[in-house]
Amino acid sequence: MPYVCLLLSGAALLVNGLAILGHLPRRDAAVLGLVVGTVQLALGAVVLSLGGAAGAAPTAAGILLFGLTYAYGGLDTLLDLGSKGLGWFCGMVAFVAVLLAFFWLPADPLISVLWLAWAVLWGLMFASLALGRSGLDHFMGWALVLASQVTATVPAFLGMAGLWPHSAQVAAGAAGLLGLLFLAAGVLARRRTAGEWRAADKPGTLAALPRDARR
C-alpha cells in the first residue's frame, strides 16, 4: 500500500511542478492534488489501523502528511485561499520530514534519503508561500519535475516488484543523484530567469512576462 501511495505522489509532484513552471493550468494540478490527497488520506487511515505492525505508525504518518499536503494544496487553489496557511503547513511538514529521515536511517537508509529530499521540496514551498520568496518558484518547479520520478515513481516500482534496496551504498548513490538533480534544477531555473530578463529588454514583451519577472 505505501508503494501505491508513492506512485500517486510521483504523478502529483510532476503535475504540480509543471503547473508551477506554467506548462499546465494551476486548477488542473489542483484537481489532481485533491483526488490524490483524498485517496492517500484513506489509505493512510487503513495503514494506521494496522497499529500492531512494525513501522505502521511512521509509515501512516508519512502517507497522511503527503495526503494532507495534496488535498490542502488543491483546495487552496480551487477556493483561492491565498496560500499563506498552506505555506506554514509545508514548513511544519518539512521539519517532520527531517525527523522521519532520522527515524528511518538505521532500518532503511534509502527511505531516509528520500525523506530528506522531500523535506527540501516542502521547505521550498514554505519559503515561497509563507515567506513570499516567489523568486524560488522556477527552482521549485524544476525540482518537483526532476525529483518526482526519482523519489516517488521509481522507488514505487522497486517496492512493488520486491526489489527495494536496503544497502547504505544504494542510499549514498541516491543521495548523490538527488544532489545532482537539485543542482540541475537550479541551473534550469537560472536559465529561465535570465531569458525572461533578456526578453524584458525588448520592446513590447514586458506584458507577456510572469508577474515575478517584472519586478
In this prediction, residue 192 carries a pLDDT of 66
Averaged pLDDT for residues 188-210: 52
Burial of 54 (0-12, 13-18, 19+ CB in 10 A): exposed
In this prediction, residue 19 carries a pLDDT of 95
Place of cell 505502521: 56
Rounded to an integer, what distance in angstroms lies between the CA atom of residue 130 and that of residue 65?
A: 18
In this prediction, residue 51 carries a pLDDT of 66
Grid coordinates given for 138: 522556477
86-123 pLDDT tens trace: 999 999 999 999 999 999 999 999 999 999 999 999 99
Sequence-ordered list of residues with C-beta below 8 angstroms from that of 61, at least 6 positions apart, any chain? 44, 96, 100
Averaged pLDDT for residues 135-145: 95
In this prediction, residue 118 carries a pLDDT of 97
Burial of 79 (0-12, 13-18, 19+ CB in 10 A): exposed
In this prediction, residue 191 carries a pLDDT of 84
In this prediction, residue 206 carries a pLDDT of 31
User: Cβ(175)–Cβ(120) under 8 Å?
Assistant: no
39-88 pLDDT tens trace: 999 999 988 887 666 678 888 999 999 999 999 999 999 999 999 999 99
Q: Which of 154, 150, 175 is nearest to 164 (CA)?
A: 154
